[in-house]
Copies of this chain bind each other. A is one copy, B any other.
Amino acid sequence: MQKPGSRVTIRDVAARAGVSVATVSKVINQRYGVAEDTMARVQAVISELGYEASLVAQSLRNHRSNVIGILVADLEPFSAELLKGAGDAIRGTGFELVVYSAGGRTGDMVGWEKRYLSRLSGTLVDGAVLVTPTVVDLQSNAPVVAVDPHTGSSAFPTVDADNLRGARLATEHLLDLGHRRIAMLAGRADLQSAILRQQGYREALAAAGVPFLESLVRVGGYDPGLSALAARELLTDPRRPTAVFAANDVTAIATIEVALHLGLRVPEDLSVVGFDNIPESALCVPPLTTVNQPIRTMGERAVDMLIRLIHKQPVERTHLTLATELVVRGSTAPV
């Protein structure tokens, strides 16, 4: 047996099988040039000892790990949903998946993507998906795909959703229902997606000839807490809006909560539209009318694209924008 407390290495297997480490390696990697019975003997020892090759040693040696990294700032509904899509895409590809989370410390820790990418790419991961990265100028040796990046024109390939159109659809839906005082609970100013969602809102208002009122826009920063405060301001105003378009579902749900606390009925007294279509939006009561962003598909596409890049296969479009669509549920009604 090997020294207790240390892992089983290829040498332990070699010693026990009475062969060289090179032979064991050949068996593991199914190389030709190994006798039938040697093969069988080594296989037996491998399962006896429960040996698995060290991912680290393999990738150091091979410069290829068959592992894809997903780098996220935090684990919230959006990124969790995206990860499910990434998991879907990875199946059957021979790649494995690791997630690195900056642990929500995006504030104090700007450039976490850069650091992680440097430490991992080329060795542990063959490529990485960056989710809502804050930095854009990182030059990486390994392929990188960004999902929902912070600026519009990213150097590397990106996957996002049609935020502009989605926001327009949401606002038009409210207009169609007869609403004219439509408030917007905006997202984070540093995010491309938030800017486009607000632009779509304005465009839809303009197209309908409804004046844009600065006083009906509040910043919720994609954050439920902030948004609850902002929503309270909006809804306690004597000239309160009859509808709210929230920049994402989490803040839309927070808005509904506030409305109910204030004694307003949703959708009778207030219509609310969200954005994202996270699972929580459907479970919510009333179910949230929202803009579907195919989050899971975005995760899938990002991983698909990354794998093509890793294999140096051509990628049809390097900036992929997926369609958004309105999902009408129970949180909106005619004015």
Contact = CB atoms under 8 A, between A and B. Distances in A.
Interface of A: 5-8, 50-57, 59-60, 74-77, 80, 83-84, 87-88, 90-91, 96-101, 103-105, 114-115, 118-124, 139, 141-142, 224, 253-254, 256-257, 260, 279-280, 283-286
A51 B141 CA distance: 12
Nearest to A122: B7
Contacts of A97: 100-101, 103
Contacts of A83: 75, 101
Given A75-B84, A99-B98, A54 B122 contact: yes
The complex is assembled from copies of this chain, and their number is 2
B98 A7 contact: no
The 8 A-B pairs with the shortest beta carbon distances in the complex, nearest first, are: A87-B103, A7-B122, A52-B118, A285-B285, A56-B123, A99-B99, A80-B80, A54-B123
A46 B47 CA distance: 44
A55 B284 contact: no
Secondary structure of the A contact surface, majority rule? mixed
A5 B141 contact: yes
A120 B114 CA distance: 23
B51 A118 contact: yes
Contacts of A98: 98-100
